[in-house]
C-alpha cells in the first residue's frame, strides 16, 4: 500500500493507496473452496528480505468468509471468480516502532498454507 496516500494525501481514505499499477499482486493461485482443507485455519506470513514481519492464521480474521459474502452481497453483485480482499495480520511496517518502509530492491514474500507463496522485488 502507498501509505503516504492512505495516511496523508487522500484524507485517510485507504482505497486509492491500494490501487496503483503493480500493487496487489495475487497468486500463485486462486483456488476454489474444495482445494483447501479449511479456509478459516491457514497459516499466513509475510517476509521482507527473509525476515518474517507478519505471521498469523486465517482463524484470526475478524469475519468469516460466509459473513463477508452475505454482507457485501447487500451492496453489489458478486460473481464467480471475484476476489474479496480482507486486510492483513498485525506487523504492518508503518505501524512498527520504528516504522519499516519498503525500498527499491527489497524482496517481499507472501505465503498462505496450502496455496503457496508469491515473491516480488520492489522497483
DSSP one-letter string for 37-103: S-TTS-EEEEEETTEEEEEEEGGG-SS-HHHHHHHHTTTS---TT--------S--GGGSSS-----
- What's 8's DSSP letter? I
Q: For residue range 91-118, what is the model confidence (pLDDT) as tens digits?
A: 888 788 998 888 999 999 999 999 999 9
Confidence of residue 65 (pLDDT cuts 50, 70, 90): confident
pLDDT number for residue 78: 94
Residue 120's alpha-carbon distances to 25, 36, 110, in angstroms, are 8, 24, 9
pTM above 0.75, yes or no: yes
pLDDT number for residue 42: 95
Q: For residue range 2-57, what is the model confidence (pLDDT) as tens digits?
A: 666 666 666 666 666 667 777 777 777 788 889 999 999 999 999 999 999 999 99
pLDDT number for residue 75: 95
The cell numbers describing 95, all together, are 505501524
Amino acid at each position: 500500500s502507498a501509505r503516504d496516500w492512505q495516511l496523508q494525501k487522500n484524507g485517510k481514505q485507504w482505497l486509492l493507496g491500494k490501487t496503483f499499477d503493480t500493487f496487489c499482486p495475487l497468486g500463485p493461485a486462486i483456488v476454489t473452496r474444495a482445494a483447501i482443507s479449511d479456509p478459516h485455519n491457514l497459516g499466513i506470513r509475510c517476509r521482507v528480505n527473509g525476515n518474517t514481519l507478519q505471521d498469523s492464521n486465517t482463524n484470526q480474521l475478524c469475519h468469516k468468509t460466509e459473513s463477508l459474502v452475505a454482507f457485501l452481497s447487500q451492496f453489489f453483485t458478486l460473481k464467480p471468480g471475484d476476489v474479496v480482499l480482507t486486510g492483513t495480520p498485525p506487523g504492518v511496517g508503518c505501524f512498527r516502532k520504528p516504522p519499516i518502509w519498503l525500498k527499491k530492491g527489497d524482496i517481499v514474500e507472501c505465503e498462505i498454507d496450502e496455496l503457496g507463496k508469491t515473491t516480488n522485488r520492489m522497483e
